[in-house]
């Protein structure tokens, strides 16, 4: 009897052990098998962003093997801020590690009535864990080119991720690094599902590296992006020299189509915008505006454009001269207002002939009377020559007359007759009248 029982037990063990051994091998392999990131064995649920050859820089995913799933909460000190560390051993290069925008995405042309968008994406990525006990690492390169290296754009880093710990899909630990600098660890990410960081001036121009390390259940995700507000650009001022009360057109990009939302300042004083499109603003210079050379800029949604130069002029106006008549080469003072403080911006004309300006203020100019006569021996004079002043591009609103003649004068009534007497001109007495 005992012998029969032993035979039966031996037979059952002989049949069951091979199957049991096979099951153990499959379980063991499933637990220790390394997940190939970026290869054929990637979890099919992993979401990869669309790729564009012009925008995407090559990326790499790395997975270390058989690390402790509970990684110590010790923050790594950056080796060198802003430098890109070499990828860890075993890193594989793949194009499905997430979308990275190498340059700014071109903004779609908005309708004429649409308001300006507040920001654009500089770079972004989306990553999904395949799960397992091993660490998973995602490495991405992106290119950042600021508008002006001396005055970098405002940059904001934002990350949204599956919670750490707890039940369901989660990370056991998670770390985010940029250019060798630790941005976040599981200690700072715990209890949140998103974080935001101001990185203005902290991202050097050129190629930068983003590294995300984590471990947890399959499907745990991290999405990140770096954004910058749309910068208002002022490209031209027309005219760049305008009289008070005159119209000005500002051209550029990313203006608001609602005039009250476009803040235009000239010499730090706000000027009302009358009409606005996304590329053009129309305004009028107030008549009481202080003349002078200054700057104009446009601010939309708190973002200011680079300033451009503009010159505000009062319309030059003439009130008289210190002499009624003068000989060529003499000095004459022209009185008025709204002349330029910069002597070289003032021009004085006797008719269409320019005179040399030797000194002046905003209310008077001293000039040398031009010589109107090619033949100095001629005896003639010119009465009531209109004097006008031009300040920059702005011409005076009126003229004043002056008589100019050489040292000899002939009676116009006898001109052309025989033996016309030549009478010396007493310019001293003439100038006193």
Of the two residues 420 and 53, the one the predictor is more confident about is 420
Whole-structure pTM value: 0.52
192-201, 298-307, 400-409: lowest mean pLDDT where? Answer: 400-409
Mean pLDDT, residues 181-190: 93
Of the two residues 201 and 48, the one the predictor is more confident about is 201
Mean pLDDT, residues 386-395: 93
Question: In the CATH hierarchy, which top-level class contains the domain 59-229?
Answer: mainly beta
Is residue 284 predicted with pLDDT exceeding 80?
yes
What was the pLDDT predicted at 326? Answer: 84
- Domain 317-432 of CATH type 3.40.50.150: no
Per-residue pLDDT of 97-156, as tens digits, reads: 333 344 344 444 433 333 344 778 889 999 999 987 789 999 999 998 887 655 567 899
SS3 44: coil
Which homologous superfamily does the CATH classification assign to the domain defined by 233-313? Immunoglobulins (2.60.40.10)
- Residue 86 has which token pair? 């070499």
What residues does CATH 2.60.120 cover in the chain?
59-229
Rounded Cα distance, 402 and 349, in Å: 12
Q: Do residues 202 and 132 lie in contact, with contact meaning Cβ atoms separated by under 8 Å?
A: no
* Phi, psi (degrees; rounded to nearest 5) at 172: -80, -40
Per-residue pLDDT of 328-351, as tens digits, reads: 888 999 999 999 989 999 999 999
Q: Which of 212, 211, 210 is nearest to 221 (CA)?
A: 212
Rounded Cα distance, 316 and 400, in Å: 13
64-73, 167-176, 282-291, 371-380: lowest mean pLDDT where? Answer: 64-73
46-55, 130-139, 355-364, 382-391: lowest mean pLDDT where? Answer: 46-55
For every residue of 121-157, DSSP letters joined together read EEEEEEEE---SSS-EEEEEEEEE--S-TTSPPP-EE
Per-residue pLDDT of 31-46, as tens digits, reads: 333 333 333 333 333 3
What residues does CATH 2.60.40.10 cover in the chain?
233-313, 317-432
* Phi, psi (degrees; rounded to nearest 5) at 336: 175, -150
Using CA atoms, how far residue 181 sits from 75, 89, 137, 221, 307, in Å, is 10, 19, 15, 21, 35
Is residue 233 predicted with pLDDT exceeding 80?
yes
Q: Which of 132, 188, 134, 138 is nearest to 164 (CA)?
A: 188
Percent of the residues in the chain that have a pLDDT greater than 90, as a whole number? 45
Is residue 323 predicted with pLDDT exceeding 80?
yes
Average pLDDT, rounded, for the chain: 73
What was the pLDDT predicted at 364? Answer: 96
Is residue 179 predicted with pLDDT exceeding 80?
yes
For every residue of 329-386, DSSP letters joined together read T-EEEEEEE---SSGGGEEEEETTEEEEEEEE-SSEEEEEPP---SSTT---EEEEEE
356 — pLDDT class (breaks 50, 70, 90): very high
In our burial notation (b when 16+ CB lie closer than 10 A, e otherwise), range 334-362 reads bebebbbeeeebbbbbbeeeebebeebeb
420 — pLDDT class (breaks 50, 70, 90): low
For every residue of 231-264, DSSP letters joined together read PPEEEEEESSEEETT-EEEEEEES--SSGGG-EE
SS3 20: helix
What was the pLDDT predicted at 373? Answer: 59
Is residue 370 predicted with pLDDT exceeding 60?
yes
């Amino acid at each position: 009897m005992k012998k029969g029982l032993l035979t039966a037990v031996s037979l059952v063990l002989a049949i069951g052990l091979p199957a049991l051994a096979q099951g153990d091998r499959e379980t063991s392999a499933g637990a220790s098998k390394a997940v190939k990131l970026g290869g054929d064995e990637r979890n099919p649920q992993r979401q990869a962003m669309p790729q564009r050859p012009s925008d995407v820089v090559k990326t790499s995913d790395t997975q270390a093997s058989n690390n402790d799933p509970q990684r110590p909460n010790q923050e790594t000190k950056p080796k060198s801020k802003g430098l890109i560390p070499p990828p860890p051993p075993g890193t594989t290069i793949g194009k499905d590690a997430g979308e990275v925008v190498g340059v700014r995405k071109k903004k779609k042309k908005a309708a004429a009535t649409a308001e300006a968008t507040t920001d654009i994406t500089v770079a972004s990525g989306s990553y999904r864990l395949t799960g397992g006990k091993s660490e998973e690492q995602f490495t991405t390169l992106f290119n950042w080119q600021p508008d002006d290296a001396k005055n970098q754009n405002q940059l904001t880093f934002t990350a949204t991720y599956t919670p750490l710990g707890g039940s369901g899909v989660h990370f056991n630990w998670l770390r985010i690094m940029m250019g060798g600098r630790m941005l976040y660890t599981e200690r700072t990410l715990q209890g949140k599902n998103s974080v935001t960081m101001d990185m203005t001036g902290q991202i050097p121009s050129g190629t930068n590296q983003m590294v995300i390390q984590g471990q947890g259940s399959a499907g745990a995700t991290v999405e990140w992006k770096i954004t910058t507000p749309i910068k208002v650009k002022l490209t031209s001022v027309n005219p760049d020299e305008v009289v008070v009360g005159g119209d000005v057109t500002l051209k550029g990009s990313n203006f608001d189509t609602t005039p009250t939302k476009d803040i235009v300042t000239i010499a730090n004083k706000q000027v009302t915008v009358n009409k606005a499109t996304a590329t053009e603003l129309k305004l009028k210079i107030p008549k009481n505006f202080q003349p002078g050379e200054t700057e104009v800029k446009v601010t939309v949604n708190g973002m200011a454009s680079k300033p451009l130069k503009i010159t505000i002029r009062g319309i030059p106006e003439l009130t008289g001269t210190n002499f009624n008549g003068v000989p060529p080469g003499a000095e004459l003072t022209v009185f008025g207002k709204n002349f330029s403080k910069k002597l070289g911006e003032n021009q004085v004309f006797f008719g269409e002939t320019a005179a040399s300006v030797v000194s002046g203020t905003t209310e008077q100019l001293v000039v040398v009377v031009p010589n109107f006569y090619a033949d100095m021996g001629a005896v003639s004079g010119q009465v009531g020559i209109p004097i006008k002043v031009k300040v920059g591009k702005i011409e005076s609103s009126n003229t004043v007359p002056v008589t100019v003649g050489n040292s000899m004068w002939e009676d116009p009534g006898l001109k052309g007759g025989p033996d016309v007497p030549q009478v010396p001109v007493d310019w001293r007495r003439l100038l006193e009248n």
